[in-house]
Amino acid sequence: MQTALLEERHLRVGLSKAWSDRFEQGLNPVIERFNASIGFDINLLQEDLDGSIAHARMLGKCGVITAEEASQIESGLEIIRSEAAEGTFKVSVADEDVHFAVERRLIALLGPLGKKLHTGRSRNDQVGTDMRLWLRRRVDKFDAELERFQLALLQQAEAHLFTLIPGYTHLQRAQPLSLAHHLLAYVEMIQRDRDRFLDVRARINICPLGAAALAGTSVPIDRRYTAKILGFDDIYSNSLDAVSDRDFAVEFAAASSLVMSHLSRLSEEVILWASEEFAFVRLTDRCATGSSLMPQKKNPDVPELVRGKTGRVFGHLQALLTMIKGLPLAYNKDFQEDKEALFDIAHTLHVSLEAMSILIEEGLEFCPDRLFSAVSSDFSNATDVADYLVRKGVPFREAYQIVGRVVKSCLKEGILLRDLSIDQWQDVHPSIDEELFERLEPKQVVASRMSEGGTAFERVEEQLRYWRKRFGSRKE
Ligand code: ARG
């Protein structure tokens, strides 16, 4: 009876025997489901086929199999690729994972020849290769997606060089800014994200294939040949490290977490700006949603969702770090858990970046009047009076105290700095003349911040030019 069950399982798996003759009983079906990763690692099908094709070619080149056999195996693997495209490549939980599913189908297609493919490798180095190929593809796509987001920000920045927005520290009005300057801060962050992914890519792009289960193999293989076919920059030098390293997965998750944190910070700002309290921005109908109950409402669901999704990416990073921290060398089945985390991170990042790009491209209309009245009705020009006094020879700390007293008395009377008469200013300090009024104008306040990296229009214009040039070739 047990033998019959085992036989049936082997038949379903399609291998003459899934495991070696050491096994006498079939798996408990609940355990079979628990153990299987096919439900999600089928995502790696293309990479698994690419890796197997490279491996077969290498076996052929090294004379482990004949050239004719290698080319038949390659054709068999390409047939599986077409079957998958047509939806006729069927897998089941009995396959356990994508690697077994491909091997099972290859054997069904080629007969005994299919059984030669797994020579000189293990699923341990195979899965590591697949994951790296998969992540490399994603990282390359992210670079383009991050650039699109930067371009969206740049376009808004170009339209709003002379639009002023209050700048905050502690979410208290601090000093006015060019809105372009504010938006370009995000372009900088995203550039760091791109650079970080590029750096992570270098460590993703090392090939573990040929490390076999953990110790290397006695089969005369050529690891550098497979690595080259697959576009890897190098191979792992230590077979144990090759199959136990998941640093690249953690780094990918960490780089993704920082992207999400940047998207989330911008989301938070947009949500605040779109509130009636701020009203710095209007959400267009393209990216806002209504309420099922309150007809007057327009909700910023896009940035809220992005802010919300950030948590799951951070969570996956934590899960990956915890997964590896106690693992003895070399491969441990715990590694199977990296897949759902990485797939979900990549998916979340992709949909969030896409939605945020659209939000910036067509979802927001800044309200210049409202923004101007915001920067004109506060004390965010107080530092400028102090700086003005400094230029007249007053030591900064003293100037700072003087202006503090002026602000206090204005607040008491409910007026702004510009409402004081020249006589009143001269009582404050005799060196003050009419020129101060010009300096109090928000536009002038912004224009005066000429230090490198400052918000002066000239400086921001330089930055706009820099980014325009950097993206130029793709923009036109
Ligand atoms: N499905 C496995 C994973 O995702 C593949 C490697 C299995 N290796 C093993 N020795 N059981 O990690």
Mutate to test the pocket of ligand 1, among 42, 124, 246 (most ligand atoms within 8 A of CB): 124
207 lines ligand 1 (CB under 6 A): no
* pLDDT of 7: 42
Per the CATH hierarchy, to which homologous superfamily does domain 124-374 belong? Answer: Fumarase/aspartase (Central domain) (1.20.200.10)
Interatomic CA distance for residues 349 and 351, integer angstroms: 6
Tokens of 2: 């047990």
* pLDDT of 85: 98
* pLDDT of 472: 82
Mutate to test the pocket of ligand 1, among 97, 99, 342 (most ligand atoms within 8 A of CB): 97
97 lines ligand 1 (CB under 6 A): yes
| Residue 185 CA: distances (Å) to CA of 35, 138, 231, 281 | 47, 25, 35, 18
331 lines ligand 1 (CB under 6 A): yes
* pLDDT of 10: 47
Q: Which residues of the chain have pLDDT under 50?
A: 1-17, 475-476
> SS3 of 275, please?
coil
175 lines ligand 1 (CB under 6 A): no
pLDDT in tens, 278-296: 999 999 999 888 877 777 7
CATH node for 2-119: 1.10.275.10
Q: How many angstroms is it from 40 CA to the middle of ligand 1?
A: 13
* pLDDT of 294: 79
Q: How many angstroms is it from 265 CA to the middle of ligand 1?
A: 38
Q: How many angstroms is it from 309 CA to the middle of ligand 1?
A: 29
Q: How many angstroms is it from 35 CA to the middle of ligand 1?
A: 10
**Catalytically annotated residues:** 170, 291
Interatomic CA distance for residues 114 and 65, integer angstroms: 11
Helix (H) or strand (E) holding 357: helix 338-358
Interatomic CA distance for residues 423 and 409, integer angstroms: 15
Q: How many angstroms is it from 7 CA to the middle of ligand 1?
A: 23
Q: How many angstroms is it from 127 CA to the middle of ligand 1?
A: 7
Q: How many angstroms is it from 208 CA to the middle of ligand 1?
A: 14
* DSSP letter for each residue of 216-259: --SS---HHHHHHHTT-SEE-S-HHHHHH--HHHHHHHHHHHHH
123 lines ligand 1 (CB under 6 A): yes
Pair 97, 48: CB distance under 8 Å: no
Residue 348: closest CA among 318, 306, 303:
306
Classify residue 276 as exposed, middle or buried by CB count within 10 Å of its CB (0-12, 13-18, 19+). Answer: exposed
* pLDDT of 41: 98
134 lines ligand 1 (CB under 6 A): no
Atom of ligand 1 nearest to the CA of 98: 1
Residue nearest to atom 2 of ligand 1 (CA): 336
Using the structure block, give the residue that is written with the tokens 């750096």. Answer: 199
Helix (H) or strand (E) holding 366: strand 364-366
* pLDDT of 293: 77
Helix (H) or strand (E) holding 298: none
37 lines ligand 1 (CB under 6 A): yes
127 lines ligand 1 (CB under 6 A): yes
Atom of ligand 1 nearest to the CA of 97: 1
Interatomic CA distance for residues 459 and 164, integer angstroms: 15
Instruction: Specify the domain boundaries for CATH 1.10.275.10 within the chain.
Output: 2-119
124 lines ligand 1 (CB under 6 A): yes
- In the DSSP assignment, the letter for residue 289 is B
Residue 108: closest CA among 44, 13, 32, 36:
13
Residue nearest to atom 4 of ligand 1 (CA): 336
* pLDDT of 289: 82
Residue nearest to atom 11 of ligand 1 (CA): 333
- One of 3.30.450.20, 1.10.40.30, 1.10.10.10, 3.30.1300.10 is the CATH number of 375-475, namely 1.10.40.30
* pLDDT of 14: 45
336 lines ligand 1 (CB under 6 A): yes
Instruction: Specify the domain boundaries for CATH 1.10.40.30 within the chain.
Output: 375-475
Burial code of 442-466, b = ≥16 C-beta within 10 A, e = fewer? bbebbbbbeeeeebbbebbeebbee
Residue nearest to atom 12 of ligand 1 (CA): 336
Interatomic CA distance for residues 118 and 73, integer angstroms: 11
Atom of ligand 1 nearest to the CA of 213: 10
Q: How many angstroms is it from 126 CA to the middle of ligand 1?
A: 9
Interatomic CA distance for residues 169 and 98, integer angstroms: 52
Q: How many angstroms is it from 258 CA to the middle of ligand 1?
A: 29
257 lines ligand 1 (CB under 6 A): no
Instruction: Specify the domain boundaries for CATH 1.20.200.10 within the chain.
Output: 124-374
Q: Count CB atoms within 10 A of the CB of residue 45.
A: 18
Pair 253, 349: CB distance under 8 Å: no
126 lines ligand 1 (CB under 6 A): no
Interatomic CA distance for residues 146 and 421, integer angstroms: 51
Atom of ligand 1 nearest to the CA of 99: 5
